[in-house]
Amino acid sequence: MAPTRKLFVKTYGCQMNVYDSERMAETLGAQGYVQTDRADEADMILLNTCHIREKAAEKVYSELGRMKPLKMAKPDLRIAVAGCVAQAEGEEILRRQPIVDLVVGPQSYHRLAEMEARVARGGTAVDTDFPAEDKFDHLVARPRALRGPTAFLTVQEGCDKFCAFCVVPYTRGAEVSRPAAKVLAEARDLVDRGVREITLLGQNVNAYHGVGEDGADWTLARLIRALAGIDGLLRIRYTTSHPNDMSDDLIAAHGEVEKLMPYLHLPVQSGSDRVLKAMNRKHGAEAYRRLVDRIRAARPDLLLSGDFIVGFPGETEADFQATLDLVEAVGYGQAYTFKYSERPGTPAAERAQVPEDAKDDRLRRLQALITRQQRAAQDAMVGREVGVLFEKAGRMPGQMVGKSDHLHAVHVAAPGIAQGDLRRVRIVESGPNSLGGDLAAG
């Protein structure tokens, strides 16, 4: 048998990269690689990268720079760059950082083992194809190891929306949905290995339209209803959704499927119709607000999360005010705010830019509002009873920490709670980053 080699993986970007890193590590596991959390003892370093904003991409190059001494000390150390920077930059990465041996895009990572073998024979390997075959079919079966109570599961990948600021349609390619039977089989396998909560992933997960077990096209709602039938699976979430794909059956599922959690990430990006149009979002602010009302009518305790971009090219102070107004009106339990970042090759990068100090100012003001809303949503949980899925031991002796139905971190001090338990908890306090509670009676 070949000697064990060590693999160090570092993941940037979205949850899909987290999922992809797990699958790549499994594929390389079949080649004899075991994972290590120390880069300095690795035989292979794999950076799974994100290209969404300039800073994210630059981080990769500085990380590679820091790895240079490791490569000097151990010349047969393999350095691989995967993910969206790999897709966007390809060969350029080898030119800019010659310590890299292998560059693999998000749709080609089932070829990783074969590429690694090529590098072992000397030279480099680059693959940024969008192959016709399904990469998930070519990945090795998951090893049957037990795992923690929560997992991601990619059901849809790629994007056809082409928002004017975004690289994802270029790095991840066109929208593709996995067949429902494959998703269900993977979900059952995860549950057998201890998983209790699955978050379905897609760049536009609610545009899911995979072939169903009955041969018909299944929507995300149909898929969620089928997943809810799996014994032992206690919770279902999904992310990220586009407002225009929020179909009636999905909204209805929020009211009807008990395992579907009352939390929804539904980015709107801006509250100004003018900016939304320039962003190519294909809906206005009022339509978004009406949509949120309909979802909340189906599930009144839904906690809403969003993404916002400030300083998009052409955004005026009045446009920004419209974003503040929308946030005030909608009320978010959680939101992510970003300064617009120019991405080469996207339409918005060619337009007149908003000065950096205006972006900074708007970011600060929006963040202040959102922090206030987040805080209020968290504080409002005090006195309520919620479900908590326990994930790990807390910092205090005898304490366990988990996530509430609404995705708040909750700590509880009570004997006899095990990892993977879902219990009813009465919330008694709201701290800076988490809630505290007691097990509810009964």
Identity of the residue, 16 or 28, whose beta carbon is nearer to ligand F3S in the bound complex = 16
Among candidate residues 71, 73, 79, the one with its CA nearest the CA of residue 101: 79
With CB under 6 A as the contact rule, the residue among 51, 235, 242, 299 that binds ligand SF4 is: 242
One-letter amino acid for residue 153 of the chain: L
Shortest CB 165 distance to ligand SF4, Å = 7
H-type alpha helices, 229-279: 248-256, 273-278
State yes or no: residue 168 binds ligand SF4 (CB under 6 A): yes
State yes or no: residue 195 binds ligand SF4 (CB under 6 A): no
Shortest CB 414 distance to ligand SF4, Å = 41
Q: Which span (20-28, 94-102, 165-173, 425-433) binds ligand SAH, by CB under 6 A?
A: 165-173
State yes or no: residue 60 binds ligand SAH (CB under 6 A): no
Roughly how many angstroms between the first and final C-alpha of the chain, as a whole number? Answer: 54
Q: In what order do the strands lie in the sheet with 303-310?
A: 263-265, 303-310, 334-339
Cis peptide preceding 154, ω within 30 of 0? no
Site for ligand SAH in 251-290 (CB under 6 A): 267, 269
Among candidate residues 373, 266, 268, 270, the one with its CA nearest the CA of residue 323: 270
Shortest CB 223 distance to ligand SAH, Å = 18
As a whole number of angstroms, the distance between CA 58 and CA 69 comes to 19
Shortest CB 88 distance to ligand F3S, Å = 8
With CB under 6 A as the contact rule, the residue among 43, 46, 67, 83 that binds ligand F3S is: 83
Site for ligand F3S in 2-31 (CB under 6 A): 13-14, 16-17
Could you tell which of ligand F3S, ligand SF4, ligand SAH, none binds residue 171, using a CB distance below 5 to 8 A set by kind? Answer: ligand F3S
How big is the site for ligand SF4, counted in residues (CB under 6 A)?
10
Asked if residue 45 lies in contact with residue 80, where contact means CB atoms within 8 angstroms, the answer is: yes
Shortest CB 105 distance to ligand F3S, Å = 10
Shortest CB 318 distance to ligand SF4, Å = 23
With CB under 6 A as the contact rule, the residue among 48, 177, 199, 203 that binds ligand SAH is: 203
State yes or no: residue 172 binds ligand F3S (CB under 6 A): yes
Among candidate residues 301, 240, 247, the one with its CA nearest the CA of residue 269: 240
Q: Which span (60-68, 163-171, 226-234, 305-313) binds ligand F3S, by CB under 6 A?
A: 163-171
Per-residue CA distances from 209 to 44, 229, 241, 264 (Å): 37, 19, 14, 19
With CB under 6 A as the contact rule, the residue among 21, 108, 204, 404 that binds ligand SF4 is: 204
State yes or no: residue 343 binds ligand SAH (CB under 6 A): yes
Could you tell which of ligand F3S, ligand SF4, ligand SAH, none binds residue 417, using a CB distance below 5 to 8 A set by kind? Answer: none
Percent helix, percent strand, percent coil in the chain, to nearest 5? 40, 25, 40
Shortest CB 244 distance to ligand F3S, Å = 19
Identity of the residue, 282 or 384, whose beta carbon is nearer to ligand SF4 in the bound complex = 282
State yes or no: residue 205 binds ligand SF4 (CB under 6 A): no
Q: Which helix (H) or strand (E) holds 96?
A: helix 92-96
State yes or no: residue 154 binds ligand SAH (CB under 6 A): no
Quote the tokens at residue 26.
């499994």
State yes or no: residue 46 binds ligand F3S (CB under 6 A): no
Shortest CB 150 distance to ligand F3S, Å = 19
With CB under 6 A as the contact rule, the residue among 9, 28, 44, 52 that binds ligand F3S is: 52
- Please give the torsion angle defined by the CA atoms of residues 357, 360, 362 and 363, in that order, rounded to the nearest 10 degrees: 170
The string of DSSP letters for 387-408 reads EEEEEEE-SSTTEEEEEETTS-
Shortest CB 56 distance to ligand F3S, Å = 6
State yes or no: residue 242 binds ligand SAH (CB under 6 A): yes
Pairing outcome for strands 176-177 and 156-157: antiparallel
What's the DSSP call for residue 435? E
Shortest CB 206 distance to ligand SF4, Å = 11
As a whole number of angstroms, the distance between CA 48 and CA 80 comes to 8
Could you tell which of ligand SAH, ligand F3S, ligand SF4, none binds residue 156, using a CB distance below 5 to 8 A set by kind? Answer: none
Quote the tokens at residue 244.
């225009």
Three-state SS for 48-74 is EECCCCHHHHHHHHHHHHHHHHHHHHC
With CB under 6 A as the contact rule, the residue among 8, 19, 109, 165 that binds ligand SAH is: 165
Quote the tokens at residue 29.
């596991």
Q: Which residues bind ligand F3S (CB under 6 A)?
A: 13-14, 16-17, 50-52, 83-84, 167-168, 171-172
